[in-house]
Amino acid sequence: MNNYQKPDKDIWSGRSSEQQLYLHEKINCIDLKNEILPKKVKNSFAILGYACDTGVKRNNGRIGAKKGPENIRKMLAPLSNHFNSTTQIVDVGNIVCHDDHLEKTQLETSEYISYLIENTYFPIVLGGGHDLAYAHYNGLSKQYTDKTIGIINLDAHFDLRQLTGKGNSGTPFYQIAKENDSFYYCCLGIQKASNNKILFETAKDLKVTYLENTQFNIENRDIVFSTLDQFISSVDHIYLTIDLDGFSSAYAPGVSAPSPLGFSLDIVLETLEFICNSNKLISLDLVELNPIYDIDNVTARLAARLIYSIIEKITS
């Protein structure tokens, strides 16, 4: 596992209160190669970085997402801590990608996610490219061998491109579908202009549940919730993946593939609450933050607040 990089304690900095008034004072850094995870309390979360944009490069996207995990952590650090002692959050470091060895990076990532689940921690994985999803799902499936895992993806793209060589940030869900006997996939926010006809045909063939960005909005919440309810009811567990490029670029300018016609924050927050209230959510990742193109860390701040909101909803 030589792609592992221990957590950088210096990232977790901010105002000092000596009363854990801020998240950087609550979060513990754990080097998984040399330390044992703290004993689980009622709610235990582990932050793992996937510092890799090789899949984005292979998909002809603009690189820079490998710096995403660092910037999200920096925006999490100064947030106020309103979580009690029954909630613990640890930073367990990054998996980095050397040269073009994406497959090795994905394999190691899946092993660490499996380890976190085995130790009853809720993984919060920070991307990196959306090729993370392939690794993430594989890590979960190692632990939930007799359970169905439904994937809910908030995204402008299906990421169902068929393999013509090596995997990339556009192929993870196609890879999952082809390597598993069952495939449960719900995608919210799909943009027609960003997905060709073949991708829509593939989604149909694979029986993918989806709503286009014109449907995924607050005015349409009843249909959104009905769609979610039917999907969640059909599976044992939910793995949630949020591609930040699904948001309108007014909210998320710093992504690999920005769009002015993406979804808004209001429907996303209500969707997250609905998913958390199902009590089936077992893991989360956020992908495609590209700090090179971010403006005043707006996109990184958005990612941090989404993580904060999900932890808050799970522990409330």
CA dihedral 91, 97, 98, 99 (to 10 degrees): -160
The yes-or-no verdict on residue 99 having pLDDT over 80 is: yes
The yes-or-no verdict on residue 1 having pLDDT over 80 is: no
What mean pLDDT do residues 21-35 have?
97
Nearest one of 305, 175, 159, 185 to 239, comparing CA atoms: 185
CATH classification code of 4-315: 3.40.800.10
| Under 8 Å between Cβ of 287 and 58 | no
What mean pLDDT do residues 129-147 have?
97
For 161, 184, 241, the CA distances from 197, given in Å and listed in that order, are: 11, 21, 23
Report the share of the chain in percent with pLDDT over 90. Answer: 97
CA distance 39 to 44: 9
Each domain of the chain, given as residue ranges in start order, spans 4-315
What mean pLDDT do residues 270-293 have?
98
Q: Please report the pLDDT score of residue 18 as a whole number.
A: 86
Question: Any known ligand binding at 53?
Answer: no
Higher pLDDT, 1 or 290: 290
What mean pLDDT do residues 241-256 have?
97
Question: Any known ligand binding at 159?
Answer: yes
Question: Any known ligand binding at 24?
Answer: no
Question: Any known ligand binding at 99?
Answer: no
CA distance 170 to 91: 28
| Prediction pTM value | 0.98
The C-alpha angle 239, 283, 43, rounded to 5 degrees, equals 145
Question: Any known ligand binding at 157?
Answer: yes
What mean pLDDT do residues 278-289 have?
98
Q: Over the range 284-312, which residues count as b (16 or more CB within 10 Å of their CB) and which as e?
A: bbbbbbbbebbeebbbbbbbbebbbebbe
Give tens-digit pLDDT for 62-73: 999 999 999 999
Q: How confident is the model at residue 2 (pLDDT cuts 50, 70, 90)?
A: confident
The C-alpha angle 265, 49, 17, rounded to 5 degrees, equals 75
Give tens-digit pLDDT for 169-215: 999 999 999 999 999 999 999 999 999 999 999 999 999 999 999 99
Question: Any known ligand binding at 100?
Answer: no
User: What value does the mean pLDDT of the chain take?
Assistant: 97
